[in-house]
Amino acid sequence: MTATPARLLLDSRCELGEGILWCERRQRLYWVDILACKLWCYEPASGHTHTWTMQQPLACIGLGEDGRLLLGLADGLYAADVDAHADATTLPLRKLADVEADDPMTRVNDGRADRNGGFVFGTKSEHADNRKAGRFYQYTAAHGLRDLGLPAAAIPNSICFDKAGTRMYFCDSVEPRILCCDYDAAKASISNVRVFVTLDTPGAEPDGSIIDAEGALWNAQWGAGQVVRYLPDGQVDRIIRIDAAQPSCVALRGDTLFITSARVGLPPRVLAAQPASGGIFFHHVGRVLSRSEDRVRLT
């Protein structure tokens, strides 16, 4: 299959860019730099960028129904009003839930709004041996935090949902496959866990994913410098090459795919060959594939 290239949008030089989202209401992109503890914002119409600095690693974000953002920091979930503090460099935070706050060897990692006003996320193992110390959770305003009962993972990732909100996709990035399961949002329960796809590129690790309007899954593949689009039956439909070895997450706006990337851990020779690592890339996919925004009910 012929691969097509993405182009650089912003040379943001993120250490660990992740969690990118498009906000239709604001006409802005939001993403995080986990290791730099920063929330980024970019407005395509004006070219303006802005960052807010957090007191701890920020791994994932969600759009709130009330206009606030949900922020998944290392020790918990928080809500923040970015519009009221648009020119500030820090954000007042309201805690929504503690997450494994008594365990210094895990932190919040990948997360995404489901189709029912909840937020599903995982916790990452911080152990040097990548032992499976992380879990998958659902947060709702009505029920707080509930364990989904999925197997423990080292690096939970690739969380996304089909249009109906009854199928959830996820992975443990240390294993070269993406799983799916049946998801009951009301009960915070899963069933029928199965393999969706097995990655066939040597060295590729599945990272952040989204589902588009046609039900296809776009997956950023860390270590392989590519994003792969899988049809609902798991067939590879398209490959987008990134001039950065570590693409990490994806978002869609209309017919445009946005991709975060990372610099962390890359040796000097790789950074010299791929100086845009850590930047935001984009690719026009040829037709409108974005779907309506999933928003989290924060109150």
Cα(105)–Cα(207) distance, rounded to whole angstroms?
A: 21
Looking at residue 45, what is its pLDDT?
96
pLDDT at 1 over 80: no
For the domain covering 4-34+108-284, report its CATH number. 2.120.10.30
Mean pLDDT on 48-53: 98
- Confidence band for 104, pLDDT divided at 50, 70 and 90: very high
Question: Per residue in 238-261, pLDDT tens?
Answer: 999 999 999 999 999 999 999 999
Round the average pLDDT of the chain to a whole number and report it.
Answer: 97
Residues tagged in the binding site annotation for substrate: 107, 109
- Catalytic residue list contains 98: no
DSSP strands (E only) in 35-141: 38-43, 48-53, 58-63, 69-73, 76-80, 94-98, 106-113, 119-125, 136-140
The residues that bridge with 168 in the sheet, in sequence order, are 161, 181
Q: Which of 67, 68, 69, 36 is nearest to 54 (CA)?
A: 36
Residues tagged in the binding site annotation: 18, 107, 109, 157, 207
- Spatial contact of 210 and 217, defined as CB atoms under 8 Å apart: yes
Mean pLDDT on 142-148: 98
pLDDT at 267 over 90: yes
Among 207, 212, 243, 294, the one annotated catalytic: 207
Looking at residue 128, what is its pLDDT?
95
Q: What sign has the CA pseudo-torsion 142, 144, 145, 147? A: negative
- Spatial contact of 116 and 186, defined as CB atoms under 8 Å apart: yes
Amino acid at 223: G
Cα(202)–Cα(226) distance, rounded to whole angstroms?
A: 12
Looking at residue 2, what is its pLDDT?
75
Residues tagged in the binding site annotation for a divalent metal cation: 18, 157, 207
Question: Per residue in 171-211, pLDDT tens?
Answer: 999 999 999 999 999 999 999 999 999 999 999 999 999 99
Q: Any idea where the domains of the chain sit in the sequence?
A: 4-34+108-284
- Spatial contact of 55 and 96, defined as CB atoms under 8 Å apart: no
Cα(229)–Cα(292) distance, rounded to whole angstroms?
A: 19
